[in-house]
Structure 1
């Protein structure tokens, strides 16, 4: 320790690497400097010391390397790079990793929420937290500054579902070569990327089954890649309701490419359908059917909800719709008004039967008269 001309005290210590390092600040009295050095000595002795120079790497540089060092799906890597470039680097890019504080993270998040969607901010925060967790493992920082409870979670409003009549009304207004896409999305719960990845070998008309083995993803560049479905559980076999089998047979005979590797869904000019083009087809079909506010992906929600209403178990729903976790399947087991009525009617019958049995015993014993229902 030494007393500076200003009257304040400076503390220095020798780190495990042998280098002398000053405290990050000076102290008003000698005791404060002594206490700081004692705490630093305890930290070094316990093996908790972190090189204060290690965390001086700019966040932008560290985060870019973090993404490159991971084996990510192309779509995920593209998403991370976009979140980093648009939402994290403008604020934290030039700041040293060790200088990012909980307060700066809170201020960043609050500012982003003013002009950016909550879902995008939640994804950006989740990426920031993951990068800083690695910085913690690399001993660049002492604690992760991302401490906002629920910061990576966003409340997603429940999407609407279509009735059976609405599904068929939309299908009727959809061009013939795409009509089956509507029915399979609604009643088999297939995603758009899974539908356009289907090949002839995936459709078993005799057994009435569809095998989901892959999904087509479209990158921002316009390039498309074929990959595994969204989760490992997405590889699955789905049994087809008999009522739509005739439509499937007709589609396979008229519109699908022939052969085991032939594409099931092909555009009018022989290309695999693109999402932006199909969205225009979808919106027009919905408008012609007089249905508003329904997205194509809502058909999957429709099918999942209908399947849950059959009384299927959580495990069965997970298998049918390719859910990787029970949490995803439980979303579709929410109570509906119709199911509440069925449950209430069943309880009502049990209550009446129980009251009648109880009243019968009381009369036999000379007790109270039968309860009026």
Structure 2
């Protein structure tokens, strides 16, 4: 490649502009296009040094095109989410976190504009604005995952999400109910939810797993319940059963023999018809929603005031569930 005065460089070209400053250009190994340095130089030596640095990056396979990180985070995050294999509910939650907590600060800016100090300031601002720590941790983890992909795509050199401890938070120890307290909750709830409370407390099943149980999943002879699926509720109110996230999610869970009479009574009076009938139903015989259980509990203030703790789903039982 010839320069203005006839010198030849092994890589790139340097020329003096009419302004007296020096311009460095080279052929981008990724696109094959000629690229100019993002700025001009005071001296030819400075331009030569810059080209030597670019050549070294290409040799070390660390080169990135100058305009690689000019992509806006918002569209990049949308595309990232579209290509992830996620459960519908997880996708909804991630989309909501991006929209509410990531895009307002970073969405319109480029990937290269996201620096560690900006990430630190963003995280602090969320906490100061009253966003719950679990949500802030989720937002940080999500931003880090998106930018990890940007590193893999060679759009940025390294991930700016490098704040120690920002990806976790301390979960306060949950109170553990005694057996007597579990039965007090069961006594305080509507009769058709009594077995739900007891089974939740003594098996550690999640609400979605309980809501998806069918008659055929319950074996009173062996005091075992078979977990095959879990119900999820989307933001639009749609309920859907889904397979567990892993093979370990399909499992048999034992429950105390003392629950057999309770569950037999429930089967006789409240469960859906047939072997595929839902074990637990909504107040009008439809699918059970979290709100059905929550509304039942909050509408019974007199009994609830007699309990010395606050019930939250999941029910903390004798086994610490």
Q: TM-score, normalised by structure 1?
A: 0.75
Q: 2:283–2:292: 8 Å Cα contact kept in structure 1?
A: no
Q: Note the aligned Cα RMSD (angstroms).
A: 2.2
Partner of 1:60: 74
Q: 1:12-64 CA deviation, whole Å, 9 max, x = no partner?
A: 33321443323334556655443332221111122221222232221111110
How far off is 1:236 after superposition? 0.9
Q: 2:188–2:304: 8 Å Cα contact kept in structure 1?
A: no
Q: 1:177 to 1:288 in 2, by over 3 A?
A: farther
Choose which of 291, 294, 304 in structure 1 pairs with 2:311. 294
Q: 1:146 to 1:5 in 2, by over 3 A?
A: farther
Gaps of 5+ in 1: 307-373
Choose which of 69, 75, 78 in structure 1 pairs with 2:83. 69
Partner of 1:19: 33
How far off is 1:265 after superposition? 0.9
Gaps of 5+ in 2: 1-13
Q: 1:187 to 1:230 in 2, by over 3 A?
A: farther
How far off is 1:240 after superposition? 1.6
Q: Measure the CA separation in 1 of the matches of 2:185 and 2:152.
A: 52
Partner of 2:197: 182
Q: 1:157 to 1:5 in 2, by over 3 A?
A: farther
Which structure shows the bigger proportion of residues in helix conformation? Answer: 1
Partner of 1:364: none
Q: Measure the CA separation in 2 of the matches of 1:279 and 1:171.
A: 14
Aligned residues: 304
Partner of 1:191: 206
- Bigger drift between 17-26 and 45-54 goes to 17-26
Q: Measure the CA separation in 2 of the matches of 1:229 and 1:250.
A: 29
Q: TM-score, normalised by structure 2?
A: 0.87
Q: 1:125–1:152: 8 Å Cα contact kept in structure 2?
A: yes
Q: Measure the CA separation in 1 of the matches of 2:217 and 2:47.
A: 73
Q: 1:28 to 1:282 in 2, by over 3 A?
A: farther
Residue 49 of structure 1 aligns to a residue whose secondary structure is coil
Residue 158 of structure 2 aligns to a residue whose secondary structure is coil
Q: Measure the CA separation in 1 of the matches of 2:55 and 2:293.
A: 66
